[in-house]
Amino acid sequence: MSELLDKNLEIKIIEIVENSNEFHNNKNYDSALTAYLNAWELIPEPKLEWEISNWISSCIYSAYFDIGNYIIAKEWGGYN
pLDDT tens per residue across span 6-19: 999 999 999 999 99
- pLDDT single digits (tens) 19-44: 999 999 999 999 999 999 999 999 99
* Residue spans per domain, the chain: 7-77
Instruction: State the pLDDT confidence band at 79, using cuts at 50, 70 and 90.
Output: confident
Q: What is the pLDDT of residue 68?
A: 97
d(CA 10, CA 63) in angstroms, rounded, equals 21
Q: Which residues of 7-25 are buried (b: 16+ CB within 10 A; e: fewer)?
A: eeebeebeebbeebbebbe
Q: What is the DSSP letter of 10?
A: H
Q: What is the pLDDT of residue 80?
A: 62
- The CATH number of the domain covering residues in 7-77: 1.25.40
d(CA 55, CA 67) in angstroms, rounded, equals 19
Strand partners for 2 = 50
